[in-house]
Amino acid sequence: MKYKRILLKLSGESLMGKKQYGIDTEMVNQYALDIKEVAESGVEVAIVIGGGNIHRGLDAEKGGMDRVQADYMGMLATVINSMALQDALEKVGIKTRLLSAIKMEQICEPFIRRRAVRHLEKGRVVIFGAGTGNPYFTTDTAASLRAIEIEADVVLKGTRVDGIYTADPEKDPAAVRYEKITFTEVYDKNLNVMDMTAFTLCQENNLPIIVFDMNKRGNFLKLTEGEHIGTLVHA
């Protein structure tokens, strides 16, 4: 076991699977099995999920909606995704707690840092919903912030590609994957890893980021056991 405590960041789009919109239960169930393996290996797991499969605040703003209103709607979308993953995890026998940055007593606990840490210490998978609870901040920023607050060892960003490339590998067949790259190099090369606020938070707190392919079965466990998978961003 390489890491004691990790924060897994999943995009809302990743939950769509092969669908164009919403939640693909097959995909969510696969993620639940991957997370179960890691949790049962003794790693403390916290998760932040985006909401882009249901609602994107920035897109809504472009359509004329008030940005603050649109962002709050996006936060609610992340709670829907978090509830779907929570249900899938509970069905495979993993105890979970869903903590929300916006109070919704009937469905989740309010985010309290000490409570979140205690849940992790007890072996529960903790899912953080509703982003940071503030408009203008992305779920990438929420992931970085929560990881720092709970003193996670690393942020693992699960994506559809197996790391950070010199260009978009889905568009440029000549793109080359980085094994390791520094925070400064990511800035200099203008590579898209996370939004700038999230990325700077990690850099300032010396919190490494690993970008990897979450859709490949078993990758998550191999990564937490110390295998070189994806791209490591370090100081």
Share of the chain above pLDDT 70, in %: 100
Specify the number of domains making up the chain: 1
**pLDDT at residue 56 in the model:** 80
Summarize pLDDT for 79-97 with one digit per residue, the tens: 999 999 999 999 999 999 9
Q: pTM for this one? A: 0.96
Mean pLDDT of 182-198: 93
What is the CB-side half-sphere exposure of residue 216 using CA atoms within 13 A? Answer: 14
**pLDDT at residue 182 in the model:** 97
Looking up residue 205, the CATH number of its domain turns out to be 3.40.1160.10
Q: Does pLDDT of 99 surpass 90?
A: yes
**pLDDT at residue 78 in the model:** 98
Summarize pLDDT for 157-182 with one digit per residue, the tens: 999 889 999 988 888 889 999 999 99
pLDDT confidence bin for 7, thresholds 50/70/90: very high
> What residues make up the domain containing 33?
5-234
**pLDDT at residue 29 in the model:** 97
pLDDT confidence bin for 191, thresholds 50/70/90: very high
Summarize pLDDT for 43-72 with one digit per residue, the tens: 999 999 999 999 987 788 888 999 999 999
Task: Determine the straight-line distance between the first and last CA of the chain, rounded to whole angstroms.
Answer: 22
